[in-house]
Amino acid sequence: MSSLNPARSAIERVWAEFNKYPSSNLTSPLMIIFHVTRSYYLYIFTPSYPTKIYFLALRSTLSLSTKEAMAESVAGFLLEKLSALLTQEVSLLRGVRTEVEEIKLELENMRAFLRDADRRKDSNDGLRTWVEQVRDATYEVEDIIDEFVYRMDRPQRGGFRGFLLNTITLLKNIRYRHRFAIQLQGLKKNIAAISTRKDQYNLINTEDGSSSQNANERWKHHGETALYEDDDEVVGLKERIDQIVVWLTEEEPRRTVISVVGMGGLGKTTLVAKVYKHQMVKKHFECCVWVSVSQSYNVEGLLKSVITDLFKTNKPEVPSNMGSMNRKQLVEMVRDYLDTKRYLVVLDDVWSVDAWTDLNIAFPRNRCGSRIMLTTRIENVASALGDGSRPFPLERLQEKEAWELFSKKAFWKEPCPPELQELAQKIVEKCGGLPLAIVSLGSLLKDKTALEWDRVYRDLSSKLTNDQMLERLKRILLLSFYDLRYQLKHCFLYCCMFPEDYLIHRKQLIRLWVAEGFVEETGKITMEEVAEEYLKELIHRNILQVVETNEFGRLKTCRMHDIVREVALSVSREEKFCTTYDELQARQNGKVRRMSIYSSDEINHSSAGMTHLRSLMVFDGNMSLSSSLNTMASSFRLLRVLNLGVPIESIPDEVTNMFNLRYLNLSGTRVRELPESLWKLQNLQTLDVRNTELERLPSGIVKLRKLRHLFIYRITDRSYNSFEYYKSIQVPIRICNLTSLQSLDDIDAKEREIVRKVGNLTQLRNLSISNVRAIDGAELCNSIGKMKHLLKLTVRATGEEEILRLEALSPNTTPLLQKLYLNGRLEKVPPWLSSLVNLTELSLNWSKLGEEDPLSSLQALPNLTFLYLWNAYEGQRFCFHDGRFTKLRKLSLVDMKQLNRIVIEKGALPSIRKLTLAHCRELKTLPEGIEYLTVLQELCLENMPMELTDRLQLKDGSEDDRRKVGHIPIIELGEWTEAEGWVRERLN
């Protein structure tokens, strides 16, 4: 027992602390102490919980020299954590958590090593090898942690049988803890050997870092070469040059800042250099200075460079004591010199607002017509310049311009050989109007054979890694990558898993990042909100391209530029971050963490390194995985993300052995049922089974305590013409106990208890509930009133004649609500609706409001941008009054059976961009006053009376209606047929 004495004092201190917290649940506990394999365990049995075992583990630290030290350190840790744990459920008291957190801390330290080494690894092969060894060790630690947490963090089971099973599991855990400690010791030895190797070969030292830094400076200041490029090297810049020259030389005495903004390789520096050398510009300004800022700028050094250039241009002698001046003195010297002069300063390659702030103070705001030109890849820098600034977003080259530039480089102005025409066009298309990519690839392919052209096109990412002629392209584009925070680097690389030209949806990408563990928890906002900030930063840095936004400018879809994606793929291959299945099969280059499949018949799950996968994303809609899923489940146990865009019909039970799974997307598949053992996926955060053949969810889903997003609806009528276009999937009532849910889309309210219990889900941001009856109204309003974070709400009645009684919802109970969709009959517009000041989208479907014009209640909504009324009004006339609906951008009036007149007063709908009229059989004339909608961009008429469409098509010989809509760029007529679906005709 002597070996137990060092721990006993610690346990007694813990026990004393334990007894400070009286609780009805912790009466007369029995304490038992075990000593197993250098670890001490304190087990607490309580009569209130006779079938459960709660324990605290007092673990010896592997490297401590004395047991006394162990006891004191462990006791100190337990005393620190005990108070917080006892305020929660007692079942959370598990010693495994302390051990896992400690290992994770070690993992973060290893990653910190990588962050420093990654900046220097290109300087020699030995350092690159060392970085790979550390990364492999990091991955191994991650694998062990995931396995350890799975085995140790099992839910407790109730009943006598549960007590026995818990006891057996406890003994297994003790043995596994011992094995885990041995594994950890082996890893520590390996890490120590790697660290020793670094020191032994002097892989990271000051001199090496300096040489690496000097090598990188060559690329950071590459922009200065643009000052010496010949004019015939430039294509498509003439109009842009002329525009900026006008801005520089106009008669505006105040100092103006012009910021040229765009992604790397777009030609920002080239454009500014041509402007800087322009004869009109040289004559207009008394002095001109070019400053290359770069990522690692030094303010004093830049100011000295400015002074040297200014004095050299105007011939006074540079002060002999300039080298000893501090920043304040240098700033004053520049300001004194420029105070009365009309100057032009170019700040090229600015990466941060701080860099602008540091340099801006040196350039006086005189009224001499001075100008500053600034180039940056980061939109936040351009937006932070303040008053007197003019952003100049640089667009990519047009198709004709891109071909001209490519031809200059690849064919020396000779015609493209016929045998290369198709390949050349594909390569230019891949360059996506990016001048640096066009020049680099054109120069590489000059005088090459057709076979070599084909190889470059098929495997560009490999060329970017190995071909020195493309080094400049890769380095310049990678400057943006290296400037990212560590978390954002993972988020950026993850985007290259999607196929080329793939439209990446914001919400999906955010959920994937969260599932992968890339997003830091802040405690104040959700991880999804943090991830959205990450996405905004990548957009503002012009690393990802915006494809589609909503009416408020919020991102809906984005994509990676093809060349940027190829660069990301080359980096991902080197980092073993992700790859494609074809790439893995061809190279067999060891462990890989993430894999995408774009086209393949089957997966060879035994491929080297596949067992360590964290993400598997399948995009081939024709691929069959049926014969592979069973073996995949056993091979890919550590998978966090499984995205199956394939027509599978079933999911085998073995999939639920993927204990690490956070994200499971089966949307669009033919899956008819999910395994009853789904409850085993205890880490699942997102389950997406939209538009599958599912009829119900397994009962075990109610045990998925970490579930955050559940998408389960199915669209059955793509014309959306019937009330039953939407079908719900049956879910267990106890789904309402999953209090971590943020998205529940959709839940069937056929069982009345659900209407009441859904109020438990107070963290919901998105709720869709179907089959609501009139008698459910008051209870549903009470439940919705508890959801203070709700952003989107959809309520569907049991049928189009069922009344939605939602009057009981109090005003301002859902203050954040942005989108509201009500499908069902309304006796009147709910009075609380006008209090939704943040509402941007409103859809009233089958409301069948009698003679009450709903517009009078809706016009007070200050931020409404989208209004959709489908069979919502049984009156004959709509009138949009002057000064109302000021922010409305999209308006759809559908299936208004009695509507025969629309009046738009002058001054109404001042922001409208799209107007849709559909299935309004009595509306035989255009809206009166449509000519006042001067900003209207699109008018859509779908299944409208022939009298109206004939006049627009000039079939009645009158041109009056066409003149009224002559200012609208897009006028479209549409008809729905069962045979062909929508048939549309553009009139202009």
Burial 417-428 (b: 16+ CB within 10 A, else e): eeebeebbeebb
The Cα–Cα gap between 1 and 5 comes to 7
The confidence score (pLDDT) of residue 909 equals: 92
Q: What is the pLDDT of residues 811-843, one digit of tens each?
A: 878 889 999 999 999 988 898 998 899 999 999
Separation of alpha carbons 775 and 541, rounded Å = 52
Asked whether the predicted pLDDT for residue 762 surpasses 90, the reply is yes
For residue 983, pLDDT over 80 is answered with no
Mean pLDDT throughout 905-910?
Answer: 91
- Residue 372: the pLDDT is 93
Distance CA 334, CA 325 (A): 12
Looking at per-residue confidence, does 520 or 10 come out higher? 520
Q: What is the predicted pLDDT for the residue at 85? A: 30
**What are the pLDDT digits (tens) for 672-696?**
889 988 998 999 999 999 988 888 8
Distance, C-alpha 445 to centroid of its chain: 36
Compute CA distances 928 → 212, 879, 903, 950, whole Å: 71, 9, 5, 18
C-alpha distances (whole Å) from 526 to each of 51, 536, 694, 766 are 35, 16, 30, 14
CA–CA dist 339, 337 (Å, integer): 6
Q: Which residues of 4-131 form beta strands (DSSP E)?
A: 30-36, 39-45, 54-59
Task: State the pLDDT at residue 104.
Answer: 52
Contacts by 234-240, CB closer than 8 A, 24 or more apart? 234/270, 234/274, 235/397, 235/401, 235/404, 235/405, 235/408, 235/435, 236/397, 236/398, 236/401, 236/404, 236/405, 236/435, 237/267, 237/270, 237/271, 237/274, 240/271, 240/392, 240/394
Instruction: List Cβ neighbours of 510 (8 Å cut-off, separation of 6 or more).
Output: 528, 531, 532, 535
Residue 16: burial class (beta carbons within 10 Å; 0-12, 13-18, 19+)? exposed
> Quick one: pLDDT at residue 211?
40
| Residue type (1 letter), 290 | W
Mean pLDDT, the chain, whole residue set = 78
pLDDT of residue 752: 82
For residue 218, count CB atoms less than 10 angstroms from its CB and return exposed for 0-12, middle for 13-18, buried for 19 or more. Answer: exposed
- 8 A C-beta contact, residue 630 and residue 654: yes
Q: Residue 349 — left, alpha, or beta (φ > 0 → left; ψ -120 to 50 → alpha)?
A: left
Burial 917-951 (b: 16+ CB within 10 A, else e): bbbbeebbebbebbbbbeebeebbbbbbeeebbeb
Structural contact between residues 494 and 595, judged by C-beta atoms closer than 8 angstroms: no
- The region of weakest confidence among 162-171, 326-335, 747-756, 808-817 is 162-171
Strand 792-797 and strand 819-823: the pairing is parallel
pLDDT exceeds cutoff 80 at 501:
yes
Residue 58 has pLDDT above 60, yes or no: no
DSSP secondary structure code for residue 873 in this structure: B
Q: What is the pLDDT of residue 244?
A: 94
Residue 958 pLDDT class (50, 70, 90 cuts) = low
Span 606-632, mean pLDDT?
Answer: 70
**CATH class of the structural domain 221-393:** alpha beta
More confident: 215 or 91: 215
| Of residues 605 and 985, more confidently modeled | 985
Q: DSSP letter at 928? A: B
Instruction: Give CA–CA dist 804/517, Å, rounded.
Output: 41
* Residues 544, 537 contacting (CB under 8 angstroms): no
pLDDT score for 892: 94
Q: Give percent above pLDDT 90 in the chain.
A: 29
For the chain, give every domain's residue range: 2-206, 221-393, 399-458, 484-577, 875-988
How far is 492 from 172, CA to CA, in rounded Å?
Answer: 41
The pLDDT assigned to 590 comes to 59
What contacts 823, CB < 8 A, 6 or more positions away? Answer: 723, 726, 794, 795, 796, 797, 843, 845, 846
If residue 890 lies in a helix (H) or strand (E), which one and from where to where?
Answer: strand 890-894
Q: How confident is the model at residue 172, as a pLDDT?
A: 59
Q: For the sheet containing 504-505, what is the strand order?
A: 504-505, 555-559, 545-549
Name the more confident of 196 and 391: 391
C-alpha 144/C-alpha 829 separation (Å) is 58
Report how far residue 885's alpha carbon sits from residue 902's, in angstroms, rounded to the nearest whole number. Answer: 15
Could you please report the per-residue DSSP string of 261-296? Answer: E--TTSSHHHHHHHHHT-HHHHHH-SEEEEEE--SS
Residue 476 pLDDT level (bands cut at 50, 70, 90): confident
Q: DSSP string spanning 749-766?
A: -SSHHHHHHGGG-TT-SE
User: Looking at 170-179, 365-374, 761-770, 815-824, which range is the least confident one?
Assistant: 170-179
- In residues, how long is the chain? 988
Question: Chain-centre distance of CA 71, in angstroms?
Answer: 46
Rounded to the nearest 10 degrees, the angle between the axes of helix 421-431 and helix 435-445 is 150
Burial class (CB in 10 A: 0-12, 13-18, 19+), 346: buried
C-alpha to C-alpha distance for 507 and 504, rounded to whole angstroms: 9
**Alpha carbons 368 and 365: distance in angstroms, whole number:** 9
- Residue 42 has what pLDDT? 43
Angle, CA 81 vertex, CA 77 and CA 83 arms, to 5°: 135
Strand partners, 596: 580, 617
| Identity of the amino acid at 921 | R
Of 876 and 4, the one with more pLDDT: 876
Q: Do 484-577 and 221-393 have the same topology in CATH?
A: no
* CB 348 within 8 Å of CB 275: no
Q: How confident is the model at residue 947 (pLDDT cuts 50, 70, 90)?
A: confident
pLDDT tens for 555-604 read: 889 999 988 998 888 888 877 888 887 766 555 555 778 888 887 655 66
State the number of CA atoms in the 13 A half-sphere of 170 facing the CB.
Answer: 21
pLDDT in tens, 67-109: 232 222 222 222 233 233 333 333 333 444 454 455 455 555 5
pLDDT band for 187, please (50, 70, 90 cuts): low
- Mean pLDDT for 974-986 is 73
Q: How far is CA 162 from CA 44, 173, 537, 588, 677, in A?
A: 17, 16, 49, 46, 18
pLDDT of residue 716: 77
Amino acid in position 384 = A
Cα separation, 642 vs 375, in Å, equals 41
d(CA 528, CA 556): 15
Those residues whose C-beta lies under 8 Å from the C-beta of residue 182, and which sit 6 or more positions away, are none
How many CB atoms neighbour CB 568 within 10 A? Answer: 26
Name the pLDDT band for 623 (thresholds 50, 70, 90): low
Average pLDDT estimate for 26-30: 41
pLDDT for res 576:
81
- Phi and psi at residue 238, to the nearest 5°: -60, -50
What are the phi and psi torsion angles at 617 (to 5°)?
A: -120, 120
What contacts 24+ positions apart, CB below 8 Å, involve 852-861? Answer: 852/828, 853/877, 853/878, 853/879, 854/829, 855/879, 855/880, 855/884, 857/829, 857/833, 858/829, 858/833, 858/834, 858/885, 859/884, 859/885, 860/834, 861/833, 861/834, 861/836, 861/837
For 124-143, write each residue's pLDDT tens digit: 566 677 777 777 777 777 77
Higher pLDDT, 213 or 804: 804
Nearest to 154 by CA among 140, 168, 138, 175: 168
Tokens of 206: 């000051």
Rounded Cα gap, residues 265 and 472, in angstroms: 10
Q: In whole angstroms, what is the distance from residue 885 CA to residue 790 CA?
A: 24
Q: Is the pLDDT confidence value at 507 over 80?
A: yes
* pTM for the structure as a whole: 0.81
% the chain with pLDDT above 70 = 73
Angle CA(699)–CA(704)–CA(710) in degrees, nearest 5?
Answer: 85
Nearest to 662 by CA among 704, 605, 620: 704
Q: What is the pLDDT of residue 600?
A: 62
Helix (H, G, I), strand (E, B) or coil at 252: coil
Read off the tokens for 539: 């957009």
Topology of the domain covering 484-577 = Arc Repressor Mutant, subunit A (1.10.10)
Residue with tokens 């939109």: 379
DSSP class of 737: G
Cα gap 540→483, rounded to integer Å: 13
Q: Which pLDDT score, from 0 to 100, does residue 59 have? A: 32
